[in-house]
A and B are shown apart, each in its own frame.
Chain A
């Protein structure tokens, strides 16, 4: 098991794959997620990254937080 740190360029398109300005990352992102799943790795989200992501999350922010807080994988 390893710890992998995500920055905003990964965390923002994670819930919103159609986001613009981060290139076509979705396929690579999902491949990374599948790889991390296989290896039982844990994703670390630094507080500034979470803050930046939630700024553009609008009404979804509380639900994002709820999901992120309850999972043991992030």
Chain B
């Protein structure tokens, strides 16, 4: 197999001696997924120095592999190849490494930022006025700030209410119907992009109509005065609303 058909994945922190066999197997599996053409791509050897995984490509598959690697380098590869790129980069970040995939002809085709990529950031906490919907599953406490727990599906919100009046009125809806509480929340955005509620101070609430959807539709249909039925093509009218005259060029 000549150099023209070899791809090299060069990982900076490992040497042939320090790269564990299990980890090598994981890198090889993801690299095979990235290169594609699984029947025609073969592991050749590990080069000494920094760990360099050398893969041989059978001649008929060289153009397809080159195209696939080029697409991945542009961020536009097939889904499974892009996922392999992401998995390789995650593995490198965990191993505190960076790597480069070198194509035949010694050009750096894909660089894996690994440990150098920006670290996910946790933002907040932020305070924001808002609402929460759910069933009250707990009201009570001896302090001035009274805990109120609200359950919405699988999610539980642990809130507080100041003042006995609102707490007493809320207690009347304990495990009974759905309420919407208004107040001030303290939110934190985690590294994975999810928002976590740290604190919610309830100022007031309203009881929501928990009727089935079919009844809600019945109520909507009983309302008179709508004008959509006068249109000859409601969807075309909506699309017309979305079109901006300035976009015509």
Contact = CB atoms under 8 A, between A and B. Distances in A.
Interface in B171-220: 178, 180, 206, 208-214, 216-217, 219-220
Interface in A28-59: 30, 33-34, 36-37, 43, 52, 55-59
Main secondary structure of the interface of B (DSSP, over half): mixed
B226 A57 contact: yes
**A interface, size bucket:** 35 or more
Interface of B: 133, 153-154, 178, 180, 206, 208-214, 216-217, 219-221, 223-229, 231-238, 241-242
Contacts of A30: 214, 217
Contacts, number: 109
Contacts of A55: 241
A15 B217 contact: yes
B226 A52 contact: no
Contact of B224 (A21, A22, A60, A73): A60
B225 A58 contact: yes
Question: Which of A30, A58, A70, A73 has the most chain B CB atoms closer than 10 A to its own CB?
Answer: A73
Contacts of B153: 1
Given A12-B228, A73-B216, A20 B208 contact: no
Given A63-B223, A72-B208, A19 B213 contact: no
